[in-house]
Amino acid sequence: MENRILFKARDLMTRNGVKHITMDDIASQLGISKKTIYQFYKDKDALVMAVVNFELEEQALKCQRTQDMADNAVHEMFMILEDIQQMFKNMNPMTMNELAKYYPEAFLRIQNHKDEFMHKIIKTNLIKGIEQGVYRKEIDPEILSIYRLETSFVPFNAQLYPYSKFDIAKVTLQIIENFIYGVMSIKGIEFMEKYKHETVANAPVDLQNN
């Protein structure tokens, strides 16, 4: 039951934002009483923190699997881009801002994960890419890993990219692709174009539109 509550809360908060989803909403969707939820989570803050922790643990596992599966540093970044596209498909753009405003402890958990785990992932990727010759040898992994991390929240800034005008997924991908192409060598760019071409070639055909 605890996992059912967690997964339903995760689904509702991801699609609809965090602020307006209530314990009553979650209980109604699951066909249980609100009292049952409180047996596992003392309040909404605790449930939000559990959802955030679950998401970060999932992200960490995906990153580690990607590192193990990737042929090289560029391939690793390419697979991360594909994961991000999937993640943003059903994500409400207000979710991150609502966490920052109404659930500061959960948001701090995200920031710490970014500054520690993600910093290590990005820096390791940059060092690996230099060694493999797919990234430019003159780049500084420490400087650029910090820069990349600081741009990760930019797509959620509604003053820069109003949600009525911009697609948060597209903004995120544009920023990351600009970063990746900026650090890649000619060899790295050739790999990236190869992976993109293979993805298009292997994409399922939509028979309804053909």
CATH code assigned at 177:
1.10.357.10
Q: Is residue 136 part of a domain?
A: yes
Confidence of residue 203 (pLDDT cuts 50, 70, 90): low
Decide: 9 and 26 in contact? Cβ < 8 Å. Answer: yes
Share of the chain above pLDDT 70, in %: 95
Return the pLDDT at 210.
45
Helix, strand, coil percent values for the chain (each to nearest 5): 75, 0, 25
Task: Decide if pLDDT at 86 tops 60.
Answer: yes
Tell me which residue of 132, 135, 175 sits closest to 153, measured CA to CA. 175
What's the rounded mean pLDDT across residues 61-68? 91
Q: What confidence category does residue 204 fall into, taking pLDDT thresholds of 50, 70 and 90?
A: low
Question: What band does 3 get if pLDDT is binned at 50, 70 and 90?
Answer: very high
Asked, for residue 27, whether it belongs to a domain, the answer is no
**14 part of a folded domain:** no
Domain assignment of residue 126, given as a range: 49-202
- Chain centroid to Cα 186, Å, comes to 27
pLDDT (tens digit per residue) in 94-137 = 888 899 999 999 999 999 999 999 999 999 999 999 999 999 99
Copy the structure tokens of residue 92: 């409400």
pLDDT of residue 179: 95
At residue 84, the pLDDT reads 80
Q: What is the pLDDT of residues 25-58, one digit of tens each?
A: 999 999 999 999 999 999 999 999 999 999 999 9
Closest by alpha carbon to 183, among 53, 76, 104, 40?
Answer: 76
CA–CA gap between residue 115 and residue 156 (Å, rounded): 17
Do the domain assignments include residue 108? yes
Backbone angles phi, psi at 151, to 5 degrees: -90, -5
| Residue 165: C-alpha distances to residues 21, 162, 171 (Å) | 25, 5, 11
Nearest to 108 by CA among 121, 119, 96: 96
Question: Is 2 among the domain residues?
Answer: no
For the chain, what is the domain count?
Answer: 1
Q: Give the pLDDT band of residue 207 (cuts 50, 70, 90).
A: very low
Kindly state the greatest CA–CA separation across the chain: 60
Residue 13 lies in a domain: no
- Please indicate, yes or no, if residue 134 is contained in any of the structural domains: yes
Is 168 inside any structural domain? yes
